[in-house]
Each structure stands twice: as C-alpha cells, then as structure tokens.
Amino acid sequence: MNKTHFSSRTGVLLRLVRGSKRFFVASILFAWMTSLLDLINPKIISFAVDAVIGEKNISAPAYLQPLLNVSGGISGLRQNIGLIALAILLIALLAGSCRYAFRVMNFRGQERMLKNTRNLLYQHITSLPLTWHNQNHTGDIIQRCTSDVDVIRSFLSDHITTLIRMVVSILLSIAFMMSISWKLTLMVCCFIPVIILFSYFFHVRIESSFLKVDEMEGHLSAVAQENLTGVRVVRAFGRENYERKRFETANEEYTGLWKYLMHLLSLFWATGDAISGLQTLMILLIGANYCLAGELTVGNYIAFLSYSAMLSGPVRMLGRVISGMSRSGVSIDRIRYILEAPSETNTKGSQKPAMDGDIVFEHVAFHYGENDADVLRDVSFTAKAGKVTGILGSTGSGKSTLMYLLCRLYDLPENGGRIMVGGNDIACMDRTWVREHVGIVLQEPYLFSKTLGENIAMTDAGADFERIRESARIAALDETIEHFAKGYETNVGERGVTLSGGQKQRTAIAQTLMRHTPITILDDSLSAVDTETDAKIRKSLENMPEQSTRILISHRITTLMHADQILVLDKGRIVEQGTHEELIAKNGLYRKICDMQSPEGALSA
C-alpha cells in the first residue's frame, strides 16, 4: 500500500470519526491506564516473594513506599501480609474500573460513529448524479453501507484501540522486563521481528482475499435484491429455477472465497500461536536455569514470567489485529469510493428565474457514456408557454432523454447545445429550483410502501384531504379509490405491488399535480390506462384553472392528436413537426404510425 493510498484511508477514517473522536481518545487513555495498572501487580508479588517472604534485602518499588510507611516497614508487612493482598486487590479493582470506563467510552464512540456514518453516506448518496446510480447496483451500495460500515466500526472500536493498547503494553512490559533481566528480555524481543515479518507476509494476501470476498458479497446482495424486488416477474415467466441456480452459483463462489480466506487465516493464527508458545517455553526453561544458578530470584522469575505472558498476549493478538485491519482496509476503500464520488453541484451564481416561459431546445446533442453513440442529435424546437407539446417516437428514439435533460437529471456535454426556459439557460439555474418547477410523471412510476393518500401527498406533506382528493379526481383515480375498502388509507405495498399498472400511473399523475408546477411532463404515463380514461385525464388537465406548459410523451396517437404541436423523433432526431392535421397531410412517419394504430383510417380523417 503506497503512501497516497494510506493517506486517503486515513482521511476517510478522520471524516467518519468526526463527532465521536473524543470518545475514542478517552477509551485509549483508559486502555493505557489499564495496561499500566496490570503491570504493577507482578512487581508487588515479586517484592512480596523475595523481600517479605524470602527475607532478601531488596528495595521496595516507589509505589509501595506508602504501604511500608503505614505498616512500619518490611517487618511490619511480614506480620500483616494481608496488606499486600489488599494492595493487589485495590490495584486490580482500579484496573477493572479503568477497563469498564474504556468499554463505556469505546461503545459510545462506535455507536456515535455508526450514526454519523449512516447519515453521512445517505446524505451523500442522495446527492450523487443519476449517472452514478446507473453505474452501481443497489444491492452493492446497500452492502457497502451496512456490512462495510460494520467492519469499519469493528476496526475503530476493537482493532485500533487494541493496537494502541498492545503497543503500550509491549513497551511497558519490555521496560519492566529489562529491569529484571536484560538477557531474558533480549531473547523475548528476538521473536517480535519474526512475528511482525510473517504478519506482513500474510497481511498482503489476506487483504486481497478480503477484497474479493467483499466484492462477491456485493454481487450476491445485488442478485438477491433484484430477485426479491422482481419476484412477480420471475414467477410470471416461470424463472424460479433459473434464478435459484443463478443465486446458488454466486453463493457457491462466495462460499469458496470464504473457505480459502479461512484457510489462510487459520494458517496465520496457528503459526502465530506456535511462535508465541515457543517463546514462552524458551523463557520458562532458561529462566528456571537462571534461578538455579542464582542469577535470578524466585520473585523476579515469577514477575518475569507474568510480564512475558502479558507481552505474549499482545504479540499473539497482533496477528488477529492485522487480519482485521486487512479487511477494514478493503471496507474503507469501498466506503471511500462512495464518499469521493462527486456530488451534483450548481454553477457559481446559479439563478432562480421564473419557469413559466417558452421552453427552447437549441441544437441539443447528448450521449450517456463517453464511448456510446449519441442518443440525441441536433434537436431544436420550442414548446410555447401554456401550450401542449406532444412527442412521438419509437423505443430508444430519445423521447425520455429530452425530459431528463429538461429536469437536469443529466447535464448536456460541452458543445451539446443548450436548453432555455423563459430565455434563461437551465445550465445556469439552481438544480433544486429547476426540479421544483418541473413536474414529471416517469415512465415507470415508483410508489412507496405507504397509503394511497400518503403517496399522493408525498410532494406536499402539508396538503389537506380536499387537495389530495382533487388531484386524484383530475387523474381519474378518485372513483377507483372509493371502491377500496379503506379508501385513501389503502396501503399500496412495496413499489405499489397491490395496484394495477394503470392505477399506479394515475397515482403518480395525482402526485405530480399536487405540486402545481409551471411545467408538467407526462412521460408515457398513460400507456397502462384505457383510451376512455386517457381522454378523461387529458380533458381534466385542459380544464385546470392554472394552465402549465405540458409535454406529453406517448406511443398512442389518440393521446397526442389534440396537442398544439407534435414532435416525431426517429433515431435521436426530429424528423417531423406540426399539428396532427399537418403531420397527416405530410404523409410521412407520423401518418404511417397513425394508419398502423387505426387500420380504418379514423384517426387520419
């Protein structure tokens, strides 16, 4: 991992812990105090064994002087040996209190971090452009915001604090051990570089394996999400077996990656434990020989074994921390991918002009990807304010793309023309302002798992019931709702699963009408309703007191024939333009489509 990569990961972590940093700092301080207090008791036991019980002439540690003064020196301690036990107990209780405070601060920090991270990710994801969402699977995004965030939480709350505590414990243990026997300490220290080197060797392989596992988990989540969301389509086409095998294949690959990773981790942990065990055995044997040779007192031998065990624990844990850090590094990169994705921005000095003027497309050209062909080619037209403009064209002709550009869901490329509203270029307008004044009913309406009334009023949460009902009436939905047992309180289910296609479209129309926008776009949003309902909705729209500029996109001639002007798109270009009568007279593509939809020529008459 290069320096730039490490710096980027550090930057992401600092951003995530903003607001919870003080809790993690406090937990680290309490962890240090715990480590220090844990190292005091072996020295007390060593002094008690050698000086109090063994009657050797050994000076007491500075922190035992108050106890010696109270008891009347070493002779007093021999008569009141329970005081030493009491001192050990008090230090253990103090260490336990610090350990409790460490846990409390740690948990508070990680929960605060989790909350802030979820909010940060959600806020950023909702600000990302539509092109980014088109390039990333929903299941993978959800997996990054759940599993990967949880891995980072574990990294900050467990691995980072453990690593810092381990470093302190190792340094203090070595310092205490050096004060007892520098020879044994050097022997112990010889094992530390070995463990660090083999840990680094495994770290590189473990990190790459975790990356594959996380990517495969995202793919598996995407497969599951697609099948659960489209369960009706899967069953309607009898694709259960195919989709089940598809999931099982992905799951088999995911499981295989985990098996390989667990094999790698098991080898890593077992090797680390073997090295630590060898270290302990060597110290036990050599230290015993030093005691027999008189180079080491029994008390110091006991204390050294205690410190060696304390050192062995953190060193053995180093392997587990390294493996955890490997996975967290992958998760940080996956979260960084989201956070570093550029959000939608407004141009400097963005305007908020009136949006009730003419809509003008001037030589508009557009393509979705750098290597993709143009979806629109030199499109120019004017939609007069307060009038109805119809757009007709085959699938893929660019009809919906025109409207996405008008809503600024996509931006025009350089030299891609411009779009004007009331003489103002929308590229210089505030994005939110544009979308607040352009009401669009999408080709595929999306309803939330709420009641019908709540879905209609979603664009105006403060609307009263009469306004909701009026919008439903214009969308020819009011009578339908009245036949439901719960009326406007009917729950539509996930994505409006309990409603028919026509009912969902009319609900989406009512939802848009609640906004009273100066520009209203119906993007093939009457395709699922019958011709009678289609005509009823269009008539209600025409009779609305506030006339907005309306753009109707449809494959149905009857929907468009009464528009003030009709545009005919073919392969991204406007090939015909005029009223219904004018286009019929041209005897071109429009007339051909018209004759196909009305064999008897009723529409052409």
Q: By 3-state DSSP, what share of the chain in percent is helix, strand and coil, each rounded to 5?
A: 65, 10, 25
Residue 605 has pLDDT above 50, yes or no: no
Percent of the chain having pLDDT more than 70? 88
C-beta of residue 207 within 8 angstroms of C-beta of residue 261: no
**pLDDT(162) > 50:** yes
DSSP states of 201-233 as a string? Answer: HHHHHHHHHHHHHHHHHHHHHHHHHHHHHTHHH
Span 195-216, average pLDDT: 74
Q: How many CB atoms lie within 10 A of CB 129?
A: 17
Q: Is the pLDDT of residue 331 over 60?
A: yes
Mean pLDDT of 348-366: 90
More confident site: 230 or 600: 230
Residue type, 340: E
pLDDT category of residue 350 using cuts at 50, 70 and 90: confident
Whether the per-residue pLDDT at 45 is higher than 90: the answer is no
Q: Which two tokens stand for residue 58?
A: 């050994």
- Averaged pLDDT of the chain: 81
429 or 502, which is more confident? 429
Q: Check whether 160 has a pLDDT greater than 70.
A: yes
Average pLDDT (472-492) is 84
Tell me which of 323 and 279 has the higher pLDDT.
279
What the chain holds in terms of domains, given with CATH numbers, is 13-339 (1.20.1560.10), 359-597 (3.40.50.300)
- Residue 522: is its pLDDT beyond 60? yes
- Give yes or no for residue 574 having a pLDDT over 60: yes
DSSP state of 151: H
> At residue 601, does pLDDT exceed 60?
no
Going by the DSSP 8-state scheme, the letter that residue 352 receives in this structure is -
Query: What is residue 491's DSSP assignment?
Result: B
The pLDDT assigned to 603 comes to 54
Q: Look at the pTM and tell me if it is higher than 0.85.
A: no
Task: Give the H or E element holding residue 391.
Answer: strand 388-393
**Cα separations in angstroms, 477 against 140, 492, 516:** 37, 14, 18
Residue 93's pLDDT is what? Answer: 92
Among 102, 92, 97, residue whose Cα is nearest residue 32 = 102
Residue 26 has pLDDT above 60, yes or no: yes
DSSP for residue 450: S
Q: How far apart are CA 300 and CA 292, in angstroms?
A: 13
Please give the pLDDT value at position 101. Answer: 92
Q: What is the mean pLDDT of residues 320-340?
A: 78
Angle value at C-alpha 546, between 542 and 551, nearest 5 degrees: 55
Say whether pLDDT at 72 is over 70. Answer: no
CA distance 206 to 586: 69
Average pLDDT over residues 318-322: 64
pLDDT band at 568 (very low <50, low <70, confident <90, very high): very high
Q: Are 565 and 578 in contact, with CB atoms under 8 Å apart? A: yes
